[in-house]
Structure 1
């Protein structure tokens, strides 16, 4: 009997320079007949009573066992295909090195297989794609989660990551799984009924052995049973060999027990022998086929044809032709084993490559660098090594999990080492975040202020401080910047609106002052000191009441001051009074313009002048003491008199400076 074992073969369409399986099948179907018209002679009937025939036993015990193991493997594979005929088509689709493909390509491959191919033809392909995709995806999730844990400061916030590729993968895998379930549901419905049909055919075949029946009708019935058997459909694989053995046994019984005409039987035996010789010739060609997997797949089909579609041969040829077929099968199997050994060698080479890659990542996980740019270079190296790892190809299955675990551990250690560097940066960024939050709050508090003279410098200072603060965590960067910018823009937009309103008033003030200058130029003093002084003061108050003028037109203030200076000179005022009135007018102008910087500078200037004059007076007084302590102290000379005169001038000047400072301080307090 031909029994087989499922070796998970990679199966391909069977086509070589010789005759293919399909061609042999067509020949067998067209030529296989049993000559039913031949009459049976009694003598022939007596001669053709023989014992049931089973498969020959090989003389060499060891060789027989080896050959039988190979035959068993093929028998099991064909049994599986008998249950689901779509398995015969799996060799149409090449098995790619899915582990080396990127995630997006894996999704496209899955989409193509799930939508365009028969579900059982791609079973192994889909499972390999699933394993490769999930390995890469889970590795990606681990890295994203680690990044999240490093950046996230809120312990209550849960990690979430959405991958469009994973969504597509799940969509196509669900489609494949639904198709598979539908396929199996339909398959299970048919398997049981097909099994019952085949068992019924075997029972009918038993009943054919009836010496009293008409041979012509019996042969016709026999051919009908063989045709029904061929079209009976798939049955469960665990029943396949048993049911086929029963059928084959009773077919041989039909040949051996039924009293056939010797000539008709010999013709049929000869025809079957020719068909099996054609199969052997084809296997001899397959032994030299370059594509070993393809050749072995065709060999499986030839075994199925040998068993299911070709009848027995005469006893004298049975052992020889079977032994020839099984020995050629063993040769094919041995070539296939050599191929597997070569593949295992390639997998060991891939394993060494991956070990080298893992070792390189482990080294990078110990190289200490101290700048962000250097870490970017290290990260780029690891990414290149990751790509090389996934492109290195398959490794032996018994070390695949350990290799993958070592790779993940090396990458994780590198990320931990990298993150230790960024922890300090994260700490600084969080401190920067707190500083910027404080500035945002301050800006929001001031954004509605209408005290523009006091608030504007503060807002500008806030903006300068913001520029000096470093980076904040990327998660908060855009949000906090938008809040700060909105608060600042809100305030300065209000300031701009206020200035636009003031500009209108300033232009009006300029026009009024320009017209008033003409009136002032025509003003004439009366000669009465008090009357003239009151009139000048009134002009000053009137001028002030007009308000500020646009900055580019402030030259008009100078013109007004020149007219005032001319009027003061005509008055019989003391120098101090004149100086103080001019000073008061100038300070009022600065106060109206809200130029606090110039007012502060004026205050500093006055304090310095007071200190300088006091030092001068102190020095002059020291000099007077030097001269008054001499023998001629009673009679002061011209030098002493000059010094005393200078002291008096400085004291008068000191009084003016002090008065100015007092007036300025009173102005600030007001």
Structure 2
């Protein structure tokens, strides 16, 4: 029976330790600032020093602070007071301070970069609030350490006193006579036992087991004062019954953490309460243990749920780390691409803040992984914009040089050469990369103004020449119209009239450049038609005259006709060879340019003339053959 009681209470003690650790994890505000320099924070002893009411301590461990000044004021109040702060509150103050501190520092850095600051030259300036915070935390650390040592000393003294009490009760529980004689002294020792509270944790269970053993032995030997013993048994039963009722009532407590802590207090009271009648000991203990089991199961389930939620949070945070790492690896080539990925990274950071804590052993590690990915991205982004800024500066210098060159040429009157140079500068301008918009607009306006100044002056000078070109255009079109009329008339002296008009056409000066090709085409089309008609008429006359003269040739003999025929055949082959040569050369000409196209037209006209001449020779050969018959 003693072993079952002891095992259950031992289990309760273990769960007290577990709950203290888990509750600290749950109620102490965690932050990504857990990687803060350990030297800035005070370390607390493993066992908390209870110096404040529990409700008040819990409130202080979760109190909201809006500024570093408020936290420092609280630290100063702790230093100036006699109280020893809870470990949870100290950790909470440290976490919230550095959360605010890091947010403030990041905001300062962002402002610096947004105002055009160089990322490489940014320096974190010393913070007076942080220095004060460290100093106050050092004092608090020393204060807690001192209180911890004092408590440890008190525990050792209580241990020695309780061991002495056990030895005295042990000496009294040897015989019934000794038990009866020392009953009053026994009651006094029980009262003293309750006054000495805390002892070293590693000695607590063994100490209580020995105490309970000899107390029960004493009561079992107590015979003379049976009424006193029965009265003690009755009072102890009443007290333990109330403890059972209180433990059973805890099943309705909505705050499972609070219920568990209250249960530990009931366990302590149960330990300190004396025995009940032998026949009731197992019964009352079974009832108390059953009520404790309900609370312990709820408490265990609570932390299993908490651990499961933390594992799920770890999965979510791992997924965000992978996303951030993937985005950080991307090779962004433009500022727009960098800004797009920046928005995605910031969105991931916002999502991260909505996820609760990961398991304690992984919480810092997973944050360090996430922070590393974000730092890598923003570091590369800063380097990109640094290089882009340098490139902008280089581009600006190049454009400034072009502006100076354009200004130097703006007053020139060498219209053709300067026009070519300015056009070359404009082409070069397009090859230079971007510059900041503010300075870029000003450079462009200066460059454009210099170019416009020159071209406006050139256009003003050439205004008269353009008028003359349009007048020449009108004259040449009038000549073309007259040539077209000659095609329709086909009268006498056509060749002479065409010759006169072509001479007039060639004497007219330049026409507007954009009209030149169309005018050239129209002019040569009408000439081709005229010359073709003139050529056919002339050729027909020459063949007729040739036929008329054949009799005179025949009178000189048959050999004279044969010689003439041979001469015509050689002429025929010569013309044929020339046509082949022209046609071969035609295949090598490039017609991609307007000049090439004009040359092809001219060669086609020559080929057609040769073919007409060859046809004329052919008609003469036929005339000789007819005469020979």
Q: TM-score, normalised to structure 2's length? A: 0.49
Compare relative contact order (CA 8 Å, sep 6+) and give the higher one, 1 or 2: 1
More helix by share: 2
